């Protein structure tokens, strides 16, 4: 039986050429797999036919937009996932979605190898291959760009020689990856980190310098999931799409960051994630009134580790699964409404309400009706500060007390 290779297929130049390139260099039949995670562009049937026209023996296409929103974006939202406190894992959470369909197609078409179009310098090669072998340890992985020397110049020449039905150009300056959760742009003149992004870099967001009239929105959550906007019920996908539209019109969610890649290099990335950034800001604020203090403090530690694991391609890892169990438990009471104003690149929370709120007006107020017994504060402070007081007394006893004569930073002159 002829060996078969399942290829993650985007419909673009590189993966279209990879179909014939893989077949010629390995002798295998290629099955193209296209997965729609809300990236926009061409119809799946058009992409499917192009894959067949480029030499694929089979073409598997899947509309995974709802699946992506519900099973990947919503866990990221509940985790307030922001890598390096800024990047909402736009590409990182789409890869395991695609991986699941690649493995499914490999089983369906009796393939022994799964191929992807990643280079040897980025994070995505890890996300694809670790994800694939986590779901199917018996499958082999192949990266034509990395393993079979498929450069862009060779891809253009191959497409022209074989008259493949795909546009070829050497002039697109950027590498772009996008889905419903956001958009990632890199390479070209952006690799000089002193260069400012130009207007043509952006697509999901309008210029926040000249915003339209401020847009007020009320986001309703149930157990950490957005279920309505301004009282109108929405699915997770609809919530993201509508917030992309409304927050994007106000320039919310533009991110310019030099991030630490898994492979050890620093990379300048431009992201647009209007819906993700606005929804995360709203979710965090609702958690502030519904999640108990110690639980919330520990959740921030869990969130960071969850985010790092997902960024590093460990979506299917045992630790990520365990951390998610904790995160899901914290969402039991994260239900209620957040009022938010979108304007000039900012998503600002102006109101919050929840039946499960831990905020007690009578405890918080300084006016009439205050039920907080302030007389108990003195004893609380004595006990709370006892260990620090004892330690300070020991320091004084041994001549190590704090020098109160002046202060200076290490290495400076007082």
Picking from 164, 132, 168, 150, the residue whose alpha carbon sits closest to that of residue 51 is 164
* 146 classed as catalytic: no
Q: How far apart are CA 166 and CA 155, in angstroms?
A: 11
Alpha-carbon distance 37 to 178, whole Å? 9
- pLDDT tier at 41 (50, 70, 90 boundaries)? confident
The model's confidence at residue 237, banded by pLDDT at 50, 70 and 90, is: very high
Of 12, 83, 80, nearest in space to 46 by CA: 12
- 124 a catalytic residue: yes
Angle in degrees, CA 149, 111, 104, rounded to 5: 110
CATH number given to 4-172: 3.40.50.620
Q: What is the pLDDT of residues 3-18, one digit of tens each?
A: 999 999 999 888 999 9
Q: Please tell me the distance from the alpha carbon of residue 190 to that of residue 186, in angstroms, as a whole number.
A: 6
* 260-272 mean pLDDT: 95
Task: Provide the pLDDT for residue 209.
Answer: 95
Element (H, E) at 303: helix 293-311
Regarding predicted confidence, which is higher, 170 or 197? 197
Average pLDDT, integer, range 108-124: 93
Q: Pairing state of beta strands 4-8 and 113-115?
A: parallel
How is residue 188 written in tokens?
């070209």
pLDDT at position 411 is 61
Q: Any idea where the domains of the chain sit in the sequence?
A: 4-172, 176-353
Distance CA 70, CA 76 (A): 10
The least confident of 105-109, 272-276, 361-365, 372-376 is 361-365
Instruction: Give 335-351 pLDDT, tens digit per residue.
Output: 999 999 999 999 999 99
Mean pLDDT of 223-231: 98
Assess whether pLDDT exceeds 80 at residue 248: yes
Residues that constitute the known binding site for L-citrulline: 87, 123, 127, 175, 259, 271
The stretch 215-221 carries a mean pLDDT of 98
Q: Does residue 208 have a pLDDT over 90?
A: yes
SS3 408: coil
pLDDT of residue 232: 98
The model's confidence at residue 412, banded by pLDDT at 50, 70 and 90, is: low
Among residues 36, 48, 94, 124, the one annotated as catalytic is: 124
- pLDDT of 164 above 70: yes
Taking a C-beta distance cutoff of 8 angstroms, is the pair 344, 215 a contact?
A: no
> Cα separation of 340 and 405, whole Å?
49
Q: Among residues of the chain, what percentage have pLDDT more than 70? A: 97
In the prediction, which pLDDT does 171 show? 64
Tell me which of 66, 86, 134, 175 is the catalytic residue: 175
Q: How far is CA 156 from the centre of its chain?
A: 31
Task: Note if 50 is an active site residue.
Answer: no
Instruction: Report whether pLDDT(414) > 60.
Output: no
Q: Measured between alpha carbons, how far is 239 from 225 in angstroms, rounded to an integer?
A: 10
What residues form the annotated binding site? 8-16, 87, 117, 119, 123-124, 127, 175, 259, 271
Query: Is residue 35 within 8 Å of 60, Cβ to Cβ?
Result: no
- Amino acid 175: pLDDT: 85
| Alpha helices per DSSP H over 54-161 | 65-68, 74-78, 94-108, 124-135, 144-147, 152-161
Q: Residues annotated in the binding site for L-aspartate, as ranges?
A: 119, 123-124
Q: Which of 14, 50, 267, 352 is catalytic?
A: 14
Model confidence band, residue 174 (pLDDT cutoffs 50, 70, 90): confident
- To the question of pTM greater than 0.85 for the whole model, the response is yes
Assess whether 175 carries a catalytic annotation.
Answer: yes
- Identical fold for domains 4-172 and 176-353, yes or no, is no
Exactly one of 48, 50, 78, 95 is catalytic; name it.
Answer: 95
Question: What integer pLDDT is reported at residue 408 of this predicted model?
Answer: 58
**How far apart (Å, rounded) are the C-alpha atoms in residues 394 and 413?**
29
How many CA atoms lie within 13 Å of 68's alpha carbon, on the beta-carbon side? 30
**C-alpha distance across the termini of the chain, in Å:** 81
- The CATH number that domain 176-353 falls under is 3.90.1260.10
Give the residue among 278, 270, 209, 282 at the shortest CA–CA distance from 244. Answer: 278
16 vs 5: CA distance, rounded Å: 14
Q: Is the dihedral of CA 193, 195, 196, 200 positive or negative?
A: negative
């Amino acid at each position: 039986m002829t060996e078969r290779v399942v290829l993650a297929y985007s419909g673009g130049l590189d993966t279209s050429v990879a179909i014939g390139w893989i077949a010629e260099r390995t002798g295998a039949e290629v099955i193209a797999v296209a997965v729609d995670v809300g990236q926009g562009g061409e119809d799946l049937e058009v992409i499917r036919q192009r894959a067949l026209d480029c030499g694929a023996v089979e073409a598997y296409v899947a509309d995974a937009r709802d699946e992506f929103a519900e099973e990947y974006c919503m866990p990221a939202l509940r985790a307030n996932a922001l890598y390096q406190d800024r990047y909402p894992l736009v590409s990182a959470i789409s890869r395991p979605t695609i991986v699941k369909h690649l493995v499914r197609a490999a089983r369906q078409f009796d393939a022994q190898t799964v191929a992807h179009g990643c280079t040897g310098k980025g994070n995505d090669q890890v996300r694809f291959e670790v994800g694939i072998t986590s779901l199917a340890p018996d499958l082999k992985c192949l990266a034509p760009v990395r393993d079979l020397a498929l450069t862009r110049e060779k891809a253009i020449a191959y497409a022209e020689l074989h008259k493949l039905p795909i546009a070829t150009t050497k002039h697109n300056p950027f590498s772009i990856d996008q889905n419903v959760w956001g958009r990632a742009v890199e390479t070209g003149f952006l690799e000089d980190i002193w260069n400012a992004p130009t207007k043509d870099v952006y697509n999901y967001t309008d210029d926040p310098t000249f915003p339209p009239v401020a847009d007020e929105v009320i986001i309703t959550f149930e157990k950490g999931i957005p279920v309505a906007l301004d009282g109108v019920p929405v699915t997770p996908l609809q919530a993201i799409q509508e917030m992309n539209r409304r927050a994007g019109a106000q320039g919310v969610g533009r991110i310019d960051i030099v991030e630490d890649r898994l492979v050890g290099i620093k990379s300048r990335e431009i992201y647009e994630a209007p819906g993700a950034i606005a929804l995360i800001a709203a979710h965090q604020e609702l958690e502030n009134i519904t999640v108990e203090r110690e639980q919330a403090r520990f959740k921030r530690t869990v969130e960071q580790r969850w985010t790092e694991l997902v960024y590093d391609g460990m979506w299917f890892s045992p630790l990520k699964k365990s951390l998610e169990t904790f995160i899901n438990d914290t969402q039991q009471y994260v239900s209620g409404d957040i009022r938010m104003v979108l304007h000039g690149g900012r998503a600002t929370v102006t109101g919050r309400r929840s039946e499960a709120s831990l905020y007690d007006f009578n405890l918080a107020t300084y006016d009439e009706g205050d039920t907080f017994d302030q007389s108990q504060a003195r004893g609380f402070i004595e006990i709370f500060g006892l260990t620090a007081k004892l330690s300070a007394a020991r320091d004084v006893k041994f001549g190590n007390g704090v020098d109160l004569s002046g202060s200076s930073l290490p290495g400076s002159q007082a």
